Amino acid sequence: MKNISLVNRASLTAILILLPSFFIQGETKAAVLSYYELPRNLQFYARDEDDSAFVRYSGLLSTSGYDSVYIEVYRNNVLWKRKSNKLNYTSGSAAFSIGQNIYCELAEYKFRLYIKAGSTSTLMNTADSLVCGDVYLVAGQSNSHPTSSYATYKNEFCRSFGVQTANYNGNNYNPADTAWGLSRADGSVYYFSGPYNVGVWALKLQEMIRNTYGIPTCFINGGRASTTISMNLKNASNPTDLSSVYGKLLYRVQKSGLASKVKAIFWYQGESDGTTAWTNYLSSFRTLYNTWKSDYPNFEKVFLFQTRPCCSEQYASQLREVQRKLPDEFPNIELISTAGIPYYEGCHFGYYGYLELANIVLRPFSYYFYGGTDTLNMRPPNIKAAFFTTPSKNEIAVLFSNSNAASWPADTLNQRMKDYFYLDGQTGKVQQGSVSGDTLKLKLYAASTATKLSYLPTVWNHDDSLVYEGPFIKNSRRVGVLSFHDYPIGAYNTARLNLTAVVEGYYSQSSNKLSIRDTLRVYVRRNYYPYQIIDSCRSVIDSVTFKGSYAFTNVPAGTYYIVVKGVSILETWCKSPGIQLIPGGTVDFNFSTSVSQAYGNNLIMKGSRACIYSSDVNADGIIDGMDNARVSNDAFNQLLGPLPTDVNGDRFVDGSDVIIVDQNSGNYIVKRTP
């Protein structure tokens, strides 16, 4: 199928078409048509909340004598729908608008547009191979858009738009290169770029979404090799600057008509920021993120790839630490670990390495967007605590959130894992390592006064000039532990809390489950005025057991209030006088057994479960009309979650959310504190 340049559908610039001549009242006339909107061959449409998209023809017919306009719609080349509209002329011209919904499915649609004069029909336009599905963007450096001669997969339900230019997408963009095509990653036109290139791992991700969930996807990749984050920023004076990385991608997405439909952005970048410029990475990412929100306003997630020791610079470890901590400021970031992925080549991966990367991405990606259930250990272990286990300070315990380390890795490639843990920046301090349950232990050669712990070298092996390729610590799904730099070693042994909590909106009495695995943060406060915060920790509450495990590294033995916060829930304090936390010990606390478990009995019963109130959307400690208005407005606009206004966690803001907030705001529920 030959592709056609796409006219910006946001503009009203007409396309003049001279149709075949026909005979009217003794004379031959050529029909003149101005299109304002029309579908294109291979065009991709983003689905709406009804799993469909409207394909429209609109324009102006400037030749009299026609009585109607109609379309034929074919589904997989079988006539499926026919629609007709009467033409009404004003001053010799007739405006028209006609269309039909297509559906998000593994089906291709063809549209034919006709004008009709009496019994004579004239074919105006044919748009073939249209599909409907989900839209995603990819940006970053060369690892965001790799190509391989092995990447030969093509499928009609895996689409892209426009061209990554020559010179690794470094050349200026040609505005004429705006056609639809099937996604590819073979690099047959330009190495690491080319028409419809999405990159090896993104193409594999499209293939798996198509095969597993039956959803067509459009990926548009705007990555450029060897770029710093500053080179990826927007030119504010010329947003679609076709010489800039950001502008080239924005131009393509706007021309595709999909800018407001982007669901997620994949950001794989950082290898070029390991210089002293790492200190500016956070501020640059803030700028980039805010421009994404402006230009692609409805994206829900950012999948951010933490880099690994690679072709980088002397401060790469610090840069990776910035990446690791970005979700603390941007909660919709999902971190992807690239540490330990096989087939590594020192900067890029081989073909099979990128396939493994796609497999790692698939689990959290499909969980958020396609109801994926393969969630066990889908996330990389991320350090949440480090502390000395003995008074003599000759052993350090490391705890992780998201998932646990599976085992201590064997020595490989003439390297030993123990040499790549650093105490206050120094190697050679660890005698041996081990993993037991959820704890990784580092036995030291001698007592230490170190206050900071790092994992993984900046770039190189210690004994040669080769890029470090392992060993790596991984979880049971072979997902690598996130690199960390100068993580503080706690002053006290860890006090553990096994918390059981049920959130009102997410809880179903019929299934006795939560609709989502919720993340709650627990604050430890002193139980006397002014109730100072001593420590805090985040953990996921399981949707079946309602349990989450919390570890506090800076809490001396004592009795404390524990305070629970989360998205759209009412801040809830435990009962007075608090609970006892013991360094080195584990305490269980269950909010769900009785309303008396909360300070001021501030829980709501659903069946036999005492639940934390939902719908404090603006987190001001009061469920009132302000929260009701926000939920009602989002329900009216039928917004898709996850959002604070998605009170019941079904990822759609609708009447069921309004019912919850309406009841609670009517009762004017407020947080209760000592």
pLDDT digits (tens, 9 = 90+) for 502-516: 999 999 999 999 998
**How much is the pLDDT for 491?**
62
Residue 150 falls in which region: left (phi positive, over 0), alpha (psi -120 to 50) or beta: alpha
User: Which tokens hold the place of 505?
Assistant: 């909106």
Cα(66)–Cα(419) distance, integer angstroms: 82
**409: preceding bond cis by omega (within 30 degrees):** no
**How much is the pLDDT for 109?**
98
Higher pLDDT, 311 or 330: 330
Task: Tell me phi and psi for residue 518, to 5 degrees.
Answer: -85, 150
**530: preceding bond cis by omega (within 30 degrees):** yes
Picking from 655, 324, 651, 337, the residue whose alpha carbon sits closest to that of residue 515 is 651
Cα(273)–Cα(260) distance, integer angstroms: 30
Q: Is 0.85 topped by the overall pTM?
A: no
3-state helix, strand, coil in the chain (%, to 5): 20, 35, 45
Helices (H), 593-671: 625-636, 655-666
Higher pLDDT, 194 or 5: 194
Q: Confidence class of residue 10 from pLDDT cuts 50, 70 and 90?
A: very low
Residue 15 has pLDDT above 60, yes or no: no
Average pLDDT estimate for 416-440: 94
Q: How many CB atoms lie within 10 A of CB 498?
A: 14
Cα(630)–Cα(153) distance, integer angstroms: 45
The H-or-E segment that residue 563 falls in is: strand 558-565
**How much is the pLDDT for 25?**
39
**Strand, helix or coil at 399?**
strand
> At a CB cut-off of 8 Å and minimum separation 6, what does 132 contact?
44, 45, 46, 47, 51, 52, 53, 102, 103, 104, 105, 216
Higher pLDDT, 595 or 390: 595
Using a pLDDT cut of 90, give the percent of the chain over it: 79
DSSP state of 588: E
Helices (H), 315-446: 316-329, 351-370
Q: Give the model confidence (pLDDT) of 91-136 as tens digits.
A: 999 999 999 999 999 999 999 999 999 999 999 999 999 999 999 9
Q: Give the model confidence (pLDDT) of 568-581 as tens digits.
A: 899 999 999 999 99
Cα(203)–Cα(367) distance, integer angstroms: 19
The domains of the chain, with CATH numbers, are 15-131 (2.60.40.10), 133-370 (3.40.50.1110), 382-488 (no CATH), 495-670 (2.60.40.4130)
Q: Confidence class of residue 11 from pLDDT cuts 50, 70 and 90?
A: very low
Side-chain half-sphere of 372: how many Cα atoms within 13 Å? 20
Q: Confidence class of residue 385 from pLDDT cuts 50, 70 and 90?
A: confident
Picking from 330, 342, 346, 455, the residue whose alpha carbon sits closest to that of residue 405 is 455
**Strand, helix or coil at 254?**
helix
Residues in the chain: 674
Residue 8 has pLDDT above 70, yes or no: no
Q: Confidence class of residue 490 from pLDDT cuts 50, 70 and 90?
A: confident
Average pLDDT, the chain: 92
Residue 554 has pLDDT above 90, yes or no: no
Picking from 72, 100, 70, the residue whose alpha carbon sits closest to that of residue 85 is 70
| 204 Cα distance to chain centroid | 17
Residue 209 has pLDDT above 80, yes or no: yes
Residue 287 has pLDDT above 60, yes or no: yes
Q: Give the model confidence (pLDDT) of 618-649 as tens digits.
A: 999 999 999 999 999 989 888 886 788 999 88
> At a CB cut-off of 8 Å and minimum separation 6, what does 492 contact?
387, 553, 554, 555, 556, 583
Which amino acid, 369? Answer: F
Beta strands in 367-481 (DSSP E): 382-388, 395-401, 421-423, 430-436, 439-444, 452-455
**How much is the pLDDT for 23?**
40
Residue 14 has pLDDT above 80, yes or no: no
Q: Confidence class of residue 492 from pLDDT cuts 50, 70 and 90?
A: low
> At a CB cut-off of 8 Å and minimum separation 6, what does 25 contact?
65
The H-or-E segment that residue 560 falls in is: strand 558-565
Residue 66 has pLDDT above 90, yes or no: yes
Cα(545)–Cα(542) distance, integer angstroms: 6
Higher pLDDT, 155 or 23: 155
Q: Give the model confidence (pLDDT) of 561-571 as tens digits.
A: 999 999 889 99
Average pLDDT estimate for 266-284: 95
**How much is the pLDDT for 12?**
35
Cα(380)–Cα(434) distance, integer angstroms: 18
Cα(460)–Cα(61) distance, integer angstroms: 68
- Pairing assessment for the beta strands 217-221 and 158-161 based on DSSP bridges: parallel
- 7 by Cβ neighbours in 10 Å (0-12 / 13-18 / 19+) ranks as middle
Q: Confidence class of residue 436 from pLDDT cuts 50, 70 and 90?
A: confident
434-468 as b/e: b if 16+ CB within 10 A = ebeebbbbbebeeebebeebbbbbbbebeeeeebb
**How much is the pLDDT for 133?**
98
